[in-house]
Every structure is written in structure tokens, then in C-alpha cells.
Structure 1
Amino acid sequence: MNPRNFSPLFRHTVALGVALGALFLAACGGGGGDGSSGSSGSGTLSVSMTDAPACGFDHVFVTVDRVRVNTDPNADINGSGWTDVVVSPARRIDLLSLTNGVLTTLGQTPLPAGTYQQIRLVLVPNGAGAPANSVVPTGGTEQALDTPSAVQTGIKIIRPFTVAPNTLTDLVLDFDACKSIVTRGNGTFGLKPVVTALPTVVSGAVTGVLVGAPGAQVYAERNGAVVKATVADANGNFTLSPIEQSSTAGNVDVVIVPTSTNGRTTGIVRSVPVVAGGSTAVATAAAPISLPTSVFRTVSGTVTPASAQATIRALQLTGGGTFEIAATAAASDTGAYSLFPTQPALPAGAPLVGTYQTTLPIPLAADATAAGKYSIQATSSSGTVSTQQVNVTVSNAIQNFAF
């Protein structure tokens, strides 16, 4: 059986020249364990990395040491049953080069057939000399990105995937740089990793073209939760990939949030189908999406105590659903946050909403009742949620939270 038959999406990304090459890998330790599905023989696991856009940064660098997998979701990092995919030499990757469906290949290794439950992405810690992990704020200079000790032992991801005998399994690690970088009050930066994993055999893509909105944030959402994000390129083209095809969750909503520099309002296309191994277009060069102009507003405030390490989301109710428009993290030392007027930012104008159809262009209609109205949601590290309503139609807003 030819393993290439099992990953048309992966082959597509390689054909675009976006995979940066395979690395020599070594597998250490056992890959079996009590969590195995019981299949005999072995298959091959190929691991790649992609990224969602980062807010307010020109570069976000992380250095990958290895990827670890285990059949036991509760296995301790020092326990048994781990298989290490060692990246040698360690790879320093600019996450912001991995948008619009771009994947960078970390490599592949044989694994005993079975079902694996736990993945750990291990980064190299910063040491003397140039930092292994760093950020470059927009228009600024490179600064070290502090990584907690837990990150250095492996960013834990619980996502079952199956390696079948004599089969190639492609696994993509999606590192959300925007939600992973915490800006502290003293001007330094820390890593609060948000990473998901997705087998590409069950995933597809959504594409589109925007007029006058390079750099726009584009999200694929289900029930108001972002499942994939990207940023439109200089020509307004975007690709959301990979997105999991889900028989239970259904289609995705595509949410477009231009930058304040673009000066355009939000666009939403509802109920866009995702086809495993395929691509769905919501707009093309011949039928692009053009959004009307809008001013942008700031929402800022403080979360107390700062130890809550809250994530802040701006949600908008429109078109029969609730959609995430922007998100950021409160500073871990002061609790301050800002949805600032560069990126992320909040359009004050009426969002345009429409429903997917195969005939393009898709009609979008303004929802004047939703203009400037947002639910600001703060979620603490313990999972406690607090939501407040703001209206930025006329001016910026200050919204504080206490846990």
C-alpha cells in the first residue's frame, strides 16, 4: 500500500514549496503500551508544524528539540512508553512564516501501530548567547521569550491519533502565536503556549481573496471558537488549512477582521463546508470579498489578581451566531490587557454577514444592530469565565475584571 495515498493535503503543501525539508530523526524508547489499539506491525508518523497569526509581532522564534508521543494520556514525562522524535540539530523556526497553509516538516519516524493519546512538543531553553526562543515586536528589536520549565519538558497536547500498519500518518502541530505570547508590564515577553494537533487525513482547506485588506486576520470558527486562523497576504489571498472535517461539529464560519490600517469592517461567511483532502473557496480573484470602511476602537483594562493569567476574547453577536473577533492575554505581572488599534483591534462599523453558496460572490449584508457592540470575555487559568458588554461605536472602552 502506498503511504502517499493517505495525505493529499500534505502533498499539496509540499507541492507549493512550503515544506522546508526533512530532518534526520532518531526514535528512542518504546512506542507501545497499554493504550495501544492492539494492531500489529508498524506504520510511519510524519510531524509538521504550522501557525496562526501573531498579534503585534514581526517574528516569533521557537527552537524545537523533539516531539514525544505516548499511548497513555496520563503518562508522566519521566514515565515509560515514550517515543522521542529527535530534531537534530534543533530547529529554530519563525512561526510567522507558517501562515496560509504553510507547513514546515519536522520529520518522520517509524512507530508501532496503535492509538496514541499524548503528544509533547519540547523546546530548547534560552541560554548564553542568542536566545533560542524570542520575539520581534512590530517595528522593534529582538527580545528573549521566557519559557517556563514546563515548556522545556514538553508542551502537553492531548489529541488521540492512530498509526495504522504500513501507513503514513501526517500529524500537524498548530502553534497559535497570537494567544501564546504574554506581554508583561515591564516590557518583557513570556510564553503561555497554545498548541493543538491535527491528523491531516481528516482535514481540508478554505480559501479566499480580499480587496484592500492585506494583513487581515482570518478565522475558521465553530460555535464562536477559533479552530484555525491565518493572515491575508499582500494581495489579499488567504488559506485556512488544515481544518478538521467534523461530522459532529459540522461546517465552519469564516470571520475576516481587517487591520485598522485597512480601515474596513468585519466580514463573516457562515456555514462553509470543509472537505477532507479538498478545498472550499469563499471568494476568488474574479469574485473577491470587499468590505466597507470602518473606524477602529480600543478596549483595555486590568484583570485582578494578575495571577489569574487571563485570556481576553472580544465576541460579537450577529447573523444568528456569536463570533470571536479578537483575543489577547493579560500581562502575567500586572494583569493589564489591551485590544489595541493595530492588531488585534475592534471595528466600530456594522459587520457584514452572509451564508456560503457555491455561486460566487457570496452576498453579504450589514447588521447595523451589531455595530460596535462586543462581549468582552475573560477566562482565568483555572477556567473561570467573566463576561462584560461594551459599546465602542463612539469611543474606546475600559473594562476591568476581578476573579
Structure 2
Amino acid sequence: MSVLSLTSAPMRVLALSGALALAACGGGGGDDGGGQGTLKVSMTDAPACGFNNVFVTVNKVRVHSSASAETSAGGWVDIDVVPARKIDLLSLTNGVMTVLGQAALPAGNYQQVRLVLDANRGGGAGALANSVVPIGGTEQTLDTPSAVQSGIKINRPFTVEKGTLTDLVLDFDACKSVVTRGNGTFGLKPVVTAIPTTVSGEVTGAVSGAPGARVYAERNGVVVKATVADANGNFKLSPIEQSSTAGPVDVVVVPGAANGKATGIVRGVPVIVGTPTPISNGPITLPASAYRRVSGTVAPASAEATVRALQLVQGGTFEIASTAAASDTGAYSLFATEPALPAAAPVSGNYQGGAAVTLQPDAAAAGKYTVQATSSTSAQPVSQPADVGAGDALVNLSF
């Protein structure tokens, strides 16, 4: 699933629910003379790092047949959320979605979705439309200027068929979307994707003794879906897009410092439309590990970079943690409230058709990471090595 950076650190997912078919990536209007269909809109989220709550208040979803249409253009179809709904994105994990609304619209090909939020109007923290609650802290304003003015823009072709209900899932990655600024305030730099439910599947599993573990479905080191394990270590990665070219996913489990266990990776897990795929016939067990923190700055701060910690394990590259650099200072930390990176050797194994997976350690990878920064203002990412085998690491990057 492709990720589009918009104005995200921790947040979760949006879903548009119904029977949706992808359109070809060419042109096409909203009304092809084929009558009307119905678009149903839902919402879901990925894990958020460092927050107890991430609230957004949704008042409208808009769709258009042109990927380049501006908000002032004609041809928009609006799905109003009445009354506007304040949603805690961190409650939308493990396949949980919330329906925002639905509307009839001309059958045809559509290319663009915009999610419009309410503005903060003051009146005390409890009255904030969009806000965050840092771990151990109190509710703070979340600044969302473009999301309020023009809406969060997601480009994704989809087709609304005549006489059908179309389902489209918008995935909000909170961990890459909430920016902590140097002055202690918070801003929204949304990272959102859209997934049709008619071409999606789910992957399930469990990890022993690791409630709250971060779990990623990745393709070629890029996270396509993320969640957190529940109190019993169970997790569901849903929805994950399936196609003839997308292929299987690698499931990466990072238990977190509170659980003190190493990273576990199950490679080559198939994604089947409409059918859950268990990664194993029982919970996977991971060895013990200390956790370390990587922090530093990304210059210039105006790059508004996304920072990822990547690890080379048995010849494959995997994302282990990510965050957003502060937009005013360029500072970042993986993570500020709890160290994000295991120091012990990761363990990995190949999917065995749902049978038990044998996980083998990669001693050469223990504590070794690549810290990579990407920005919409630069065509190429920048990266530096980081070794947390003996302690925390300071890594500065510059475009």
C-alpha cells in the first residue's frame, strides 16, 4: 500500500466501507452515464508512539473524479458527518473501524478523497476538537491547519459501480503523523492511505508475554499496515491490500521496552482476500532484550522529515520504528517516552502454512540499525548507521 505524506507521529486508520473495485489509473469522470452507487466511509488506525490518546474531529469526507482537483473546483461529492465526531484514533486498532457515513453518488471512476476536520475553537482542553494526550501528560492542542482548510488529501483510484455499496479504507498512521515541536506543542503532518475492502485480506497472530507489542506488515521494508497486540498478545493486521503484484507480507513484531523482548520476524505471509491468514498455530516466543534510544536532529528543520530505524536481518531490510522530526527544530527521538530499539539479536523464520514457525537469531544484526530520514522536499533520503548494542545513540542527519 502506498503511503502519501500530507501536512503524521502516532495515529491510526480511516476506512470507507462497501463493495469497492479499483479503477485503472487513467482518467475517467465521476459520472460515466451508469446511474448511481453508494459510497460508505469508515475509519481505522495504526499504532501511535508516545501518546495515550490522539483525537481528531471529522466533519466531512469529499471525493472527486480528478486527482488534481482543488477544493474550489466543481464536481466534489460530500459525505457530511452530522454531528461532527471526535474520534480517538488509538481506539481503532486490530481491525477495529468506525463508520463515518455514506452517500449516493454517480457511478464511475474516482481518484481523490479528502478528509475535513473541525477547527479548534478554544474553551479549555476538554473542548478541543483535535488534541493529543502524551503518556504521563494532559490533553494538548493538535494543530491541523491544512486538514481544517482544504482537508487531508489522499490520491487513490477506485470505482463506484451502479447499484452497489463501495467500501474504501483510509489508514491513518499516527506514529508518522503527529509532530512534537521543540516548544512542546503538537502538529499534524498526516500520513494516510486508502484501501478497498474488496481487494484486501488480514493477517492474525499472537506473541507470548508481550501485550502492547507493535506489529507491522511490511513489503520490501515498507510498512503497509500496523497495529498493537492486545492484553493477551493477540493481533490482527487488517485491512492489507492484496494484488497479483503486491505479493506476501513480512510480519515484524517489536515487543517494546516494557516487555523486554527482541524483535521477531515471520517472512512471506500470504494475503488472501476475505480470508484471515494466521502466521502460526500458536503464539510466537521471543528472547529477552534490553532496549535503547536513538535521537538527534534532521537539518534543515523545514524538511519536516519522517525518520525510520531500519534493520538488516538475514539479508532483508525491515522497519523497526519510526517517528516525525519536529518541524521547528528538526529534533527527533525513537522514542521520547520509551526506548524503541531492541539491542539483542532479532529472530526470524519463514511462514509455514500456519504451522509453528522456527525463529533463528541473526547475531550479526544485534543492536545495528540504519537511521533514515525522508522528506517531501528532497528526492533522495539520507541515512546514517546507529549501533545501540552498548547504549543509546546520537545520530544527526542532513539533506
Q: Same fold (TM over 0.5)?
A: yes
Match of 1:166 in 2: 163
Query: 2:191 & 2:386 partners in 1: Cα distance?
Result: 27
Superposed CA deviations along residues 174-208 of structure 1, whole A, max 9, x for unmatched, are 11111110001111111111111111000010000
1:115 equivalent in alignment to 2:112:
no
Between stretches 304-313 and 57-66, larger displacement belongs to 304-313
Unaligned runs of 5+ in 2: 1-13, 18-26
Amino acid at match of 2:312: L
Q: Which of 238, 254, 257 matches 2:254?
A: 257
1:185 equivalent in alignment to 2:179:
no
Amino acid at match of 1:354: G
Superposed CA deviations along residues 282-325 of structure 1, whole A, max 9, x for unmatched, are 135xx211100001111110112211111100001112311000
Superposed CA deviations along residues 180-238 of structure 1, whole A, max 9, x for unmatched, are 10001111111111111111000010000111100100000011100000000111010
Match of 1:273 in 2: 270
Alpha-carbon shift at residue 249 of structure 1 (Å): 1.7
**Relative contact order (alpha carbons < 8 A, sep ≥ 6): 1 or 2 greater?**
2
Amino acid at match of 1:52: A
The verdict on how the C-alpha distance between 1:143 and 1:156 changes in structure 2, with shifts beyond 3 A counting, is same
TM-score (norm 2): 0.90
1:331 equivalent in alignment to 2:326:
yes
Between stretches 357-366 and 289-298, larger displacement belongs to 357-366
Match of 1:292 in 2: 287
CA RMSD of aligned residues (A): 1.8
Query: 2:242 & 2:266 partners in 1: Cα distance?
Result: 17
* 3-state DSSP of counterpart to 1:294: coil
Seq. identity, %: 68
* 3-state DSSP of counterpart to 2:176: helix
Alpha-carbon shift at residue 344 of structure 1 (Å): 6.2
Amino acid at match of 2:54: V
Amino acid at match of 1:92: K
Match of 1:230 in 2: 227
Match of 1:27 in 2: none
Q: Which of 316, 320, 324 matches 1:321?
A: 316
Match of 2:133 in 1: 136
Alpha-carbon shift at residue 390 of structure 1 (Å): 1.4
Q: Which of 69, 75, 92 matches 1:75?
A: 69
Query: 1:256 & 1:397 partners in 2: Cα distance?
Result: 22
What count of residue pairs does the alignment treat as equivalent? 372
* 3-state DSSP of counterpart to 2:231: coil
The verdict on how the C-alpha distance between 1:39 and 1:241 changes in structure 2, with shifts beyond 3 A counting, is farther
Note if contact 2:307-2:325 (Cα within 8 Å) is conserved in structure 1: yes
Query: 2:160 & 2:189 partners in 1: Cα distance?
Result: 30
Match of 1:402 in 2: 398
Q: Which of 326, 350, 356 matches 2:351?
A: 356
Superposed CA deviations along residues 333-371 of structure 1, whole A, max 9, x for unmatched, are 111111137556000111111111124211111111111
Alpha-carbon shift at residue 39 of structure 1 (Å): 5.1
Amino acid at match of 1:229: A
Note if contact 1:270-1:356 (Cα within 8 Å) is conserved in structure 2: yes
Note if contact 1:124-1:152 (Cα within 8 Å) is conserved in structure 2: no
Q: Which of 379, 383, 387 matches 1:387?
A: 383
Alpha-carbon shift at residue 35 of structure 1 (Å): 2.5
Note if contact 1:261-1:342 (Cα within 8 Å) is conserved in structure 2: no
TM-score (norm 1): 0.89
Match of 1:371 in 2: 366
